[in-house]
Amino acid sequence: METPYASRRSVLSVLAAASAAPLLSASWGAGVAHATASGDTYSSSTDLYTRLPGGEGTDYARRYKRHAMADNSAAQKYPYNRTMIMAMHGGGIEVGTSELCLGVAGYHPATLAATPADGPAYDYWMFEAIRSSDNAELHVTAEHCDDHVALSMAAGSFNVLSLHGCTAATAGAPASRPEAVVIGGRNETFKRYLTEELKGAGFQTIDGASNPELDGDSPDNICNRTMLGKGGQLELTTELRRSMFGTFTRTGCAASTNQTFWSFTAACRAATARLEAGPDQVIL
């Protein structure tokens, strides 16, 4: 299949529109991690970084990769990287989401080797809480993520797929089958592809439209702050995430992925490939 390409003028015009989206800022009391901001200690990423000076490497870590792009040819076109994968509550906040971010992006979470070896690889960004305890305190809700690297990467992408963790009760999963994923975001086509691919791989899916707490449809949610103003969000229950690893801990997940993990990431990658083949992904 022919790969769509982007012109410099078209990309710059959409980038300018995306960067104009407003940021939200507010303040809440301390609590455990929630999908909404009601329990957040920090009102934004900037607030967290400011109030924890020197915290990177002790309290939290940030990892990202923006793949190189260049076009110095007058005669040839070269591809534009269209999709970014995110885990903004990785590490000890929503365990397993860091590893899922890397797996969907095309990297083995333990070695960072290209997986599968023939790609494709997607840009990624993650925030990881790395404390020995109280990691939930570092949760910043998706609408208040103002990390400059994360924002610039989202604004420079057609698509974002953001990976989160939730409880089965919050997701509305039945007690008899708590392993489920809530599919949200403003990109209805992406939601449909994710639902079809994940269901086809044997996973229980829940439409985010039925769950206002997890639907991810706010235009201020960073998953939707893309060139197209829409993206995808997945909320995986604790039970589903636990089923993907032999050792379900912050330090144990990366080296203990199992077939459930790889089936899930493959389904997400298949949905992303279908999305990137669509007509709204082509900028002339």
CB proximity list for 212: less than 8 A, separation 6 or greater: none
Query: Do the domain assignments include residue 2?
Result: no
Domain range enclosing 276: 8-281
The answer to whether 81 touches 4, Cβ cutoff 8 Å, is no
- For residue 257, the 8-state DSSP code is B
pLDDT of residue 77: 85
pLDDT digits 0-9 by tens, 220-254:
999 999 999 999 999 999 999 999 999 999 999 99
pLDDT at 38: 64
Instruction: Please report how many Cα atoms fall inside a 13 Å half-sphere around the Cα of residue 216, on the Cβ side.
Output: 33
Residue 142 sits in a domain whose CATH number is 3.40.630.100
The string of pLDDT tens digits covering residues 181-211 is 999 999 999 999 999 999 999 999 999 999 9
pLDDT score for 282: 87
Task: State the pLDDT confidence band at 39, using cuts at 50, 70 and 90.
Answer: confident
| 79 — pLDDT class (breaks 50, 70, 90) | confident
Torsion from C-alpha of 24, 27, 30, 35, nearest 10 degrees? -20
Asked if residue 57 is part of any domain, the answer here is: yes
For range 102-119, the mean pLDDT: 97
Identify the band that residue 30 occupies on the pLDDT scale cut at 50, 70 and 90. very low
- Give a yes or no: residue 1 inside a domain: no
- Look at residue 14 and tell me if it is in a domain: yes
CA distances from 58 to 124, 151, 276 (A): 22, 23, 38
Please tell me whether the peptide bond between 120 and the residue prior to it is cis, using omega within 30 degrees of 0. yes
89, pLDDT greater than 90: yes
| Number of domain units in the chain | 1
Cα torsion 258, 261, 267, 272: sign: negative
**Which residues have a Cβ under 8 Å from the Cβ of 53 and sit 6 or more positions away?**
none
**Any idea what DSSP says for residue 169?**
H
Residue at 237: amino acid letter:
T
With respect to residue 73, please indicate whether it lies within any of the assigned structural domains.
yes
In a domain, 38, yes or no: yes
120-138 mean pLDDT:
97
What pLDDT does residue 37 have?
58
Q: Is the pLDDT of residue 29 over 90?
A: no
pTM of the model: 0.86
**SS3 letters for 93-123?**
CCCCHHHHHHHHHCECCCCCCECCCCCCCCE
10-19, 147-156, 228-237: least confidently modelled range: 10-19
Is 160 domain-assigned? yes
Residue 3 belongs to some domain of the structure: no
